[in-house]
Amino acid sequence: MAVYTEVTDEALTAFLALFDIGGVVAFRGIAEGVENSNYALKTTTGDFILTLYEKRVDPADLPWFLGLMEHLAAQGLPCPLPVRAMSGANLNPLAGRIAAITTFLPGVWPRRATVEHCELLGAALARFHLAGQGFAPVRENALGPEGWAPLLEKCLDRADEVMANLGTELSGALQNILREWPKDLPSGHIHADLFPDNVFFLDGKISGLIDFYFAATDFYAYDVAVCLNAWCFERDFSFNVTKSRALLRGYMAHRALTAAERAALPVLAQGSAMRFLLTRLYDWLNEAQGALVTPKDPLDYYRRLRFHRDVASEAAYGL
């Protein structure tokens, strides 16, 4: 979450008139994250999140995202529920952007993930994958393997500003990943961005899964690899196999990984690291002026990528 687009008091008042959720009591920007403009909104009827969709989100995808959220909420997953205007629309214009209001979920995201957090996260991810099977529409993963080479190409001229020879090293690593990428694994709807700041905990349980705007239809095990990268590395970039084992244990308590999925984990983890390295590298080199957000260091994921390149089998992840 972040703030790129400012909303005036007058624009907010006119926007809220479209809804039956009362008048504004409090309104503030949320600085965390990197993609859309997000505000915490409190009205006379309750708490909500207001999101204005920015450059990386294709407006044509928005009905899919919100439809998936409505489906998952109906299945009992703790995810935000889009609020519809009195016209029935859940997407409406605001400040030159398309915007949506969703329900607010209580809880706190873990600043330092524990083994217990990881096991609960794995279970929630599996339940997400199973619950999504009843949602028929599909969405191609725009930031999947086919999108990595074009994204790297946009960064190559300046990649060495971040680290010497980074562009050359990433080009070679990407060639290896794409050559080894699996062709046929179990697939369905994935979150694709389930970082700790997108998971809320309350009273020892997960109270919220948020930020579905990278969700897509892709390999389930790729989603697992995203979470291994996001949850199982320590601040010194060492890999915590105990956390990894707990995450996988939580996941497989609800959905067993196939032998092919387990064998593919090393390259899927490399691909996941490459995806976040590249988007962070692009944002680092193209920082938006005046935005209430700090770009994330792409070298964090370079270090993860190097770890996974040395992994010989799924045993390194605790399987």
pLDDT digits (tens, 9 = 90+) for 248-276: 999 999 999 999 999 999 999 999 999 99
Q: Which amino acid is at 315?
A: A
Choosing from 34, 68, 103, the residue where a domain stops is: 103
Total number of domains in the chain: 2
Tokens at 183, concatenated: 């062709």
Identify the pLDDT of residue 1: 43
Judgement on whether residues 212 and 280 belong to the same structural domain of the protein: yes
Residue 133 within a domain: yes
Identify the pLDDT of residue 35: 74
Identify the pLDDT of residue 293: 61
Pairing of strands 82-83, 24-29: unpaired
Residue 271 within a domain: yes
Residue 127 within a domain: yes
Whole-prediction pTM: 0.93
Judgement on whether residues 131 and 271 belong to the same structural domain of the protein: yes
Judgement on whether residues 156 and 304 belong to the same structural domain of the protein: yes
Residue 75's domain is classified under what CATH number? 3.30.200.20
Which positions ≥6 away from 172 have C-beta within 8 Å?
Answer: none
Residue 1 within a domain: no
Judgement on whether residues 227 and 141 belong to the same structural domain of the protein: yes
**Measured in whole angstroms, how far is the alpha carbon of residue 90 from the centre of its chain?**
21
Judgement on whether residues 264 and 149 belong to the same structural domain of the protein: yes
Judgement on whether residues 34 and 83 belong to the same structural domain of the protein: yes
Judgement on whether residues 77 and 165 belong to the same structural domain of the protein: no
Judgement on whether residues 98 and 205 belong to the same structural domain of the protein: no
Judgement on whether residues 121 and 47 belong to the same structural domain of the protein: no
Range of the domain at 217: 115-317
Judgement on whether residues 69 and 170 belong to the same structural domain of the protein: no
Identify the pLDDT of residue 33: 53
Helix (H), strand (E) at residue 40: strand 37-43
Output b/e per residue, 249-280; b: 16+ Cβ within 10 A: bbbbeebebeeebbbbbbbbbbbbbbbbbbbb
Choosing from 75, 103, 131, the residue where a domain stops is: 103
Choosing from 44, 71, 103, the residue where a domain stops is: 103
Residue 240's domain is classified under what CATH number? 3.90.1200.10
Low-confidence spans in the chain with pLDDT less than 50: 1
